[in-house]
A and B are shown apart, each in its own frame.
Chain A
Amino acid sequence: QVKLLQSGAALVKPGASVKMSCKASGYTFTDYWVSWVKQSHGKSLEWIGEIYPNSGATNFNEKFKGKATLTVDKSTSTAYMELSRLTSEDSAIYYCTRKEEWAYVMDAWGQGASVTVSS
């Protein structure tokens, strides 16, 4: 079955960067976009951006341009998101998702990776 396994929780200092991973299995990694979604504590969901593993093409929410960098490693079916210049506003749970291409729906979600920004 489709699985997205994310890296663990991270505690990082303000101003630093963090890179998280999302390992896909159970489907052809290069055939589906991978989207990333932010959920601040107790709040709703924000779409950060997406990457198409086959070509490396990306789309971003304007709000996260310059904040998030998306990459993939096709050899290991792993997607990565790096967040830079971290502030307390970046403390959240981050989810990777698979986007089904017909309806543009996020049909599979990773378990989430918690990022805490604190000195």
Chain B
Amino acid sequence: DTVLTQSPALAVSLGQRVTISCRASKSVSTYMHWYQQKSGQQPKLLIYSASNLESGVPSRFSGSGSGTDFTLTIDPVEADDIANYYCQQSNELPYTFGAGTKLELK
């Protein structure tokens, strides 16, 4: 299975630029997606295919990368962005998710 590694947590200040990383154990091409999950809610798709912004998602979110290294950037961070962020690969079955990065306020 493809293992996705994320930093467990990041502390940020409002208005700051933050990057969340995700590293795959093998190449996933650009079949990498990012989800936001707020407490008590289902995950929500933010970025698909590494760099495509899902419809309705604010433009302060962006994604980049290919192969094994990917980043999700939020610029600037707003209070509403405090949540858990998960990367997910769909290059091969089984689809796998990273362990998640918890975005916290400093």
Residues of A within 8 A of B (CB): 35, 44-47, 59-63, 95, 100, 103-112
Check A47–B45 contact: CB distance below 8 A.
Answer: no
Check A107–B48 contact: CB distance below 8 A.
Answer: yes
* Nearest A-chain residue to B98, judged by Cβ: A44
Interface of B is mostly: loop
Query: Given A35-B95, A62-B94, A107-B48, A45–B42 Cβ distance below 8 Å?
Result: no
For B83, the chain A residues whose CB sits under 8 A away are none
Residues of B within 8 A of A (CB): 31, 33, 35, 42-45, 48-49, 52, 54, 86, 88, 90, 93-100
Check B48–A100 contact: CB distance below 8 A.
Answer: yes
For B97, the chain A residues whose CB sits under 8 A away are 44-47
Check A95–B42 contact: CB distance below 8 A.
Answer: yes
CB B101 to nearest CB in A, in angstroms, measures: 11
CB B94 to nearest CB in A, in angstroms, measures: 4
* Nearest B-chain residue to A6, judged by Cβ: B42
